[in-house]
Amino acid sequence: MTEQLRESLSAAMDDEADAFELRRVLDEARQDSDLREQWYRFALVRDVIREDMQNYQPGLRESIWQALNETGDPDADATQPLRDVSVDPQKNQRSPWIGRLTGTAVAAVVAVLVMANGGVFDSEVEPAADYAGVQPSLRSSDLAPVMYQQATALDQQRQQALMLHHIQQRAMNEASLASFVKVATFRSAPTPAPAELNTGQSPSQQ
Amino acid sequence: MMSLSRTMLLATLVCLMPGIAGAQSVAQMLQDMNSAYTNHSYDGVFSYYTGGELASLRVVHKQVDGVQRERLVHLNGAPREIIRRGEVVSCIVMPGDDLIALEKSIPAGPFARAFVRQFDQIPDIYTVGTFGEGRAAGRTAVRVAISPKDQDRYGYRIWIDKETSLLLRSELIDHRGQKLEIFMFNQLLVGDDVEDSALEPEGVSGGMVSHLTLQATDEPWQPPATAGSAQSMPSAWSTHWLPTGFAMTDSHMRHKPGSVSQVSSLMFSDGLAAFSIYVEPMPKAGAASMLSQNGATVAVTHQIEEQGQYFLVTLVGEIPVETARNIVTTVHQKKG
């Protein structure tokens, strides 16, 4: 990593980088794992100091890449895409956070993230809606099984039941507030045959 | 550029601060935080973020006539309440809710209300330090960072109320600094102003109640009835590898509800993080190796063969995926 890049990164972390400089850091970071690590460390430090919550949504960096890729036209003025994505009056109204975040390049990227993630603070998606038979669209982070081989609904139910058992067991063992919270907010993936949840076994099992 | 030196200086400060704070005093703070859970009366609303979802819950806690009582209400989505009176825990849910599938009686260890259970172990596997003061729920808090010394577990940042030692905010963080779970009080009432009536369930129409009992004693580990019987299973399971500091805290063999099939379960903890390993005979229909993740909780299912029999091993826990994979592949039947 060059000294100049390090300075650009540092400036970006301090919200002092212009859009062009930020863009360059983002491009470099895509190929340079050292730079990415440095970024994580700077961000962590800054986060601890500032108590920022919005900077660490899971999937933040991926969302930034995605958002930039979708809006970034290499032939266009490098400063333009970043400004454009931060201005979405409708979204701004929905989240008071975004209104405060516009203005600087880094803030614009964070705003993109909040939007790209479908709005972490958007209460329209109700976690328990699927219990009533309504299946909300699942986002990629939601219990999406990564299969080594074809997993059936039964496989998912089995894992789900054990997941619930684990968090419940923890709650009963530790009796801590945090562990009860896990039970209270447990959300299973929609399954086609909920009746079999009680057994967790295939009908052919004796 | 000034900004560089500033950030570097901050980085240096952050690295040094845990040493200044001293592990002992932080351990004491964590101890105080644990007892604050039971010693204080409180009524608050908090946010809980995990697995890409944000939930709002209300918690009420009070000791009434010497009995610990608590009520946890899910404020968004389908109505759910968890009511606790001493050692009886009741879940009030709507028909169709997955929580109905809970086993009726869950074995449990001694009653302990804890964020951290084994303080003496913590300094060996986590670096703990305070990071000055912050605010949460409008109250002044001391910030504490608990960072793992390896990549086999997650770290925490917690905000402890200066006045009452109650936990006001906590974040579960992976080794890259990403927040996997956030628990944060938005509003909190502490002390005698907490009303007894706030502990009563709201009585949602159409709701059903499911009771769980916290048992002080539990049936100890039982080897299967007799060798050679139709349901014979290996008597115990173990792992060839465990991350530093993890030890078995619990082991059971149980029947799956509505099934004759037995499942062995083992629970491991390092005092902060925990995971369970479940071993069951391979279902006749077969099963897939799979991995799923919900916030910090990961589940990995893996197939093993022991003495010509196939078993399904599932690990569920709040540990990194790689670590979970590394452990689950070393599960084996104990010899002898």
Lookup: tokens for A177: 């507030």
Tens digit of each residue's pLDDT, chain B (336 residues): 445 455 444 444 444 444 344 445 777 887 788 778 778 899 999 888 887 888 888 889 898 998 888 888 888 877 778 788 877 777 777 666 655 444 333 333 222 233 445 556 677 888 888 989 999 999 999 999 989 999 999 998 989 999 999 989 989 999 899 999 888 999 999 999 999 999 988 766 666 666 655 443 333 323 333 333 333 334 479 999 999 989 888 777 766 555 556 788 888 988 788 899 999 888 777 777 888 888 888 999 988 888 888 888 999 999 999 999 999 999 998 876
Look at residue A131 and tell me if it is in a domain.
Answer: no
ipTM over 0.85: no
Residue A30 and residue A112 in one domain? yes
Residue A159 and residue A96 in one domain? no
Residue A82 and residue A166 in one domain? no
pLDDT value of position A78: 30
Q: Is A40 helix (H, G, I), strand (E, B) or coil?
A: helix
Residue A106 and residue A27 in one domain? yes
Look at residue A39 and tell me if it is in a domain.
Answer: yes
Look at residue A124 and tell me if it is in a domain.
Answer: no
Fold of B2-213: outer membrane lipoprotein receptor (LolB), chain A (2.50.20)
Residue among B135, B301, B322 with most chain A CBs within 10 A, to mutate: B301
Write down which residue in A81, A101, A116 finishes a domain.
Answer: A116
- A206 contacts in B (CB within 8 Å)? 260, 284
Residue A15 and residue A103 in one domain? yes
Residue B177, by phi and psi: left (phi above 0), alpha (psi -120 to 50) or beta?
left
Tell me the C-alpha to C-alpha distance, in Å, between residue B55 and each of A48, A73, A113, B198.
24, 38, 20, 20
Interior angle at CA B241, CA B237 and CA B245, nearest 5: 105
Residue A187 and residue A105 in one domain? no
Residue A108 and residue A177 in one domain? no
Domain residues for A160?
A: 143-198
Tell me the C-alpha to C-alpha distance, in Å, between residue B108 and each of B119, B267, B311.
21, 12, 26
Lookup: tokens for A42: 């700077």
Tell me the C-alpha to C-alpha distance, in Å, between residue A111 and each of A16, A22, A63, A96, B268.
17, 15, 11, 11, 40
Look at residue A136 and tell me if it is in a domain.
Answer: no
β-partners of residue B239 are: B331
Q: B-contacting residues of A 64-123, CB under 8 Å?
A: 117, 120-121, 123
Task: Domain count for chain A, please give it.
Answer: 2
Look at residue A159 and tell me if it is in a domain.
Answer: yes
Tell me the C-alpha to C-alpha distance, in Å, between residue B305 and each of A49, B77, B314, B328.
51, 43, 14, 13
Domain ranges of chain B: 2-213, 237-333
Look at residue A127 and tell me if it is in a domain.
Answer: no
Look at residue A138 and tell me if it is in a domain.
Answer: no
CATH superfamily placement of domain B237-333: MucB/RseB, C-terminal domain (3.30.200.100)
Question: Is any Cβ of chain B less than 8 angstroms from the Cβ of A195?
Answer: no
Gyration radius from chain A CA atoms? 22
Residue A79 and residue A171 in one domain? no
Closest by Cα among B285, B140, B271, B54 to A53: B54
Residue among A134, A135, A166, A180 with most chain B CBs within 10 A, to mutate: A166
Look at residue A132 and tell me if it is in a domain.
Answer: no
Q: Is the pTM of this model over 0.80?
A: no
Distance separating alpha carbons of residues B72 and A177, to the nearest angstrom:
9
Residue A9 and residue A100 in one domain? yes
